[in-house]
Structure formats: C-alpha cells, structure tokens
Amino acid sequence: MTDPSEFTVDVDQNSYLPTGGSQVDAIVTVTMTGAATGGATAPASTGHGLEMIIVDCSTSMLGEKMMSARRATAAAIAELRDGVSFIVIAGTDSAEQLYPQLAGTATADAGTRAEATARVARLEANGRTGIGAWLTLASRIADAHPGGVKHAILLTDGQNGEHPSQFTIALDASVGKFTCDCRGVGTDWKVDEMRAISSALLGTVDIVADPSDLAADFRAIMGAAMGKSLADVALRVWTPRDATVRFVKQVAPVVADLTTRRTESGTQRGDYPLGSWGAESRDYHIAMQVTPGKVGDEILAGRVSLVRAGSQEVLAQGLVRAIWTDDTALSTRISRGVAHYTGQAELAEAIQDGLAARKAGDEPTATARLGRAVALAAASGNDDTAQLLERVVDVIDAPSGTVRLRAGVATVDEMTLDTRSTKTIRVRGGS
C-alpha cells in the first residue's frame, strides 16, 4: 500500500556570523501532511500496530477516581479503529492483563470493543503502585508487535512504591518500544515521575485534577493516537568535519531536550528519535558549533534530514548555512524563531526552577525565577502560561518580572503549572 503521507522541512535561521563567530542556530519546522486523521470511520492504517491502556488500580483509586477511570477507559476503547490491536492493563504492585484475559492482544471491532468495555466496568481498586511492573508488561507486549505505531496511555493517582532502581531499569528497557502519554488524576502523584516516563517514551504528561474530566481527556488522547500513521521517525543531523552539534531540542508544541538521545548513524551524523507522526507540525531548535571562517567564507553548517529510524530512507531535508561577515547589521540580527523559542525554553526552565525553590523554602530564588517566567510569558504572548503563573504569584509588573509569592497556593495550581510548563506557543509572524 502506498504511504500517502508527505514530510517537509523548513529552516529558519540567520546564517550570518561575525568574524570569529562559531555558533549556528536554526529552527527546523517539520510538517507531515496526508496522514489519516483518525476517528472511528477512518480506514485502519497499515502503520498502526498497538494501543495499550494502563490503569492504576491501587487502593488509592477507590471511589470516584475508579469510577471515572472505568468511564475514561471505555471512552478510549470506543475511539479504537477496526483492525487496531489493543490491550487493557490493570496496574497495582504488579501488572495484570485485564483484556483480553488470555495471552496476546485483541483486534478492535464492534465485538471486542464491547467485550473490553464490559470487562473494564468490573475494574476494582486493591493494591499498591508499581509503575515499573506496568512498563515491563507493556514492553513485553510491544516486543510481540514488531513494526507499526505502538502507543500507551498510562493513568495513575499516586507515587510509585518500587525501589527507584527497579523503576529506572523498567523505564530504560521501554525506551524505543512504544510512546506513552501519561496522566495523573488528583494531586497525590509526582510530576517528576510522570515527566520522566513521558520524556523517555516521547509522549505527553498532564494533570487531570477533576476525575470527571478523565473520559474527555482519554477520548482526545486516543483520537489523536488514531491519527498517527508513521512510527519511529528520526531527525538525522550531519555536520562537516570539526563541527559538532551542541543540542537538539523540540520546542513546539512542547519543549523536550533530545540531545542525549542521539545515536550515531554514519560519519559525522547522528539520529534523534521523534516518535510517531500523524498530520501535524513540530519545531526543533538545533545549535551547531563550527570552526570560525574568514569574512566572505560560506559553508554548509549542517544537513537536517527526516528518516525512518534505522533506515537510509530520507523523507525530507533542509540545509543550515553559515556565512561570515563584518557587517554588524547582518551578524547581529537574530532569527525571530530562534529568539522566540530560546525564550520559551528558558520559560519552562524558570518555572520548574522556581517551583522547586518554593518547595524547598528558598523564597528569594523562587521569587526571582518565577518573576523571570512571568516576564518571559508576557514578552512571548504565552497567555495560557501567564494565567497559570498568576495562580502561584501576585504579578506586580509583568514586563519587568516583578512578583510576590502567593501564600497558601493550592497544590493543584502548583502541579498544573509544573506539568504544563513545557507547553509553548508557535512563533508569530515571519522570521
């Protein structure tokens, strides 16, 4: 079957460097068009391999949270297209294959969706929380489904009870096997734990403060997952001899540092995993260090390609250039995209630093860092983040970042700001 999807790569940069300049920055926009848009009536994609729904069934989920988890899981099952393999996992200090009850996975159709929904209605809360065990089972199931898009939704309401090393080993063993969107319901879970999973498994993390909102959230996650049609895409970056890649960061729709995820793929080139794709667009900030040239010199500082992970198939390509000049009007102009996303990355870091300092009782640092975040949010027009910040600090003057820490901040407001700190807005206008 011919793949109707198409990738484009657009590069936004100021290619002019001053005499002695060596850092080249570029914003690379990757867009995929022509993919299936998802939905129950969409044709099953040959690229879709596996969906896993992992539900926390520890004792703390008793009551409203468990009832909401049942409804949410049923809502996600309803979004599955015919032909998609799926499984529901009940997580306590171990992991139980809830549906199908026998080994293996089910293939989505009207019958299996109904059976799975009936089985989920009997979910009970009883036990502790062992997230590493859940990931281990999910990894084993993913291993049995080579190729195709493999995705999981993981829901928890509490903190992991395993030894940290057990969790780390399980998470490390899951990398590259499936993507995972993590959701925490209520306020008793740890943002850092869920962010560690979502970052490693190229997914998202968010808080669902009100359990009654879970069903809509799960429906949206699964709907988006059904729109993914191509698995395991990588960003391949080539640099000339004596040049290096300083960092590669996804900067939209969320900030995610991919620098340490590089795998060598040939002479002077490395691949950075981007996960699964549907009809969407993402932005990446790539910084390269090159050997300084003389005035008038021009080089190809880097070649950025989209490839299927582990293959030589190039889906799209863009070029990053460097030109040395003694014209300061040229060399001091900063690309609009580079300036914007540098600020967005700093915004996420300032929020996380500020919240950590607040939790540690370091009020001066918390005030300074959250004040800086307020200034950055105001300057970039990131109104959603600005509104979340206002629940944690009293804003005296946004442009200067003058704030006062609020007393008695609700835990849900802190956690919401933390989980959504990495969400960015796209750069406005031209470069």
**pLDDT tens-digit profile of 270-298?**
999 999 999 999 999 999 999 999 999 99
Strands 269-277 and 230-238: antiparallel
CATH, residue 390: 1.20.120.1690
Residue 348 has what pLDDT?
98
> What is the CB neighbour count within 10 angstroms for residue 299?
17
Examine residue 430 and state whether it is found in any structural domain, yes or no: no
Q: Are residues 259 and 209 in the same domain?
A: no
Which pLDDT score is estimated for 310? 73
Residues 73 and 107 in one domain: yes
Tally of structural domains, the chain:
3
Residues 159, 70, single domain; the answer is: yes
Claim to verify: residue 235 and residue 124 sit in the same structural domain? no
One domain, residues 305 and 363: no
Mean pLDDT across 205-222: 98
Q: Which of the listed residues 226, 249, 273 is the one where a domain comes to its end?
A: 226
Residues 14 and 53 in one domain: no
pLDDT value of residue 428: 72
Last residue of a domain, one of 333, 361, 388: 333
CATH number of the domain to which 268 belongs? 2.60.40.3670
Please compute the mean of the pLDDT values over residues 240-268 and round it to a whole number: 96
Band of pLDDT at residue 427, cut at 50, 70 and 90: confident
**40 assigned to some structural domain:** no
CA 60 centroid distance within chain: 27
212 and 277 share one domain = no
Q: How high is the pLDDT of residue 5?
A: 65
* pLDDT tens readout for residues 308-347: 877 788 999 999 999 999 999 999 999 999 999 999 999 9
At residue 407, the pLDDT reads 94
Q: Last residue of some domain: 182, 198, 226?
A: 226
Question: How distant is the alpha carbon of residue 345 from its chain centre?
Answer: 14
Phi-psi region of 381 (alpha: psi -120 to 50; beta: other; left: phi over 0): left
The domain in which residue 376 lies consists of 337-419
And the tokens for 61? 């989920």
In a domain, 98, yes or no: yes
Give the per-residue pLDDT at 309: 79
Q: Are residues 278 and 204 in the same domain?
A: no
Q: What's residue 32's pLDDT?
A: 95
Read off the CATH number of the domain in which 127 is found: 3.40.50.410
Q: Model confidence over 163-201: pLDDT tens digits?
A: 999 999 999 999 999 999 999 999 999 999 999 999 999
Q: Say yes or no: 204 and 252 in one domain.
A: no
What per-residue string of b and e applies to 17-48 under the rule 16 or more CB within 10 Å gives b? Answer: bbeeeeebbbbbbbbbeebbebeeeeeebebb
**425 lies in some domain:** no
Are residues 379 and 329 part of one domain? no
Q: Are residues 31 and 166 in the same domain?
A: no
List pLDDT tens digits, range 371-392.
999 999 999 999 999 999 999 9
The answer on pLDDT for 370 being more than 50 is yes
- CA distance linking residue 253 with residue 423, whole number of Å: 6
pLDDT score, position 312: 82
pLDDT at 165: 97
Q: Mean per-residue pLDDT for 410-419?
A: 98
Same domain, 370 and 284: no
- Residue (of 21, 19, 25) closest to 339 by Cα position: 25
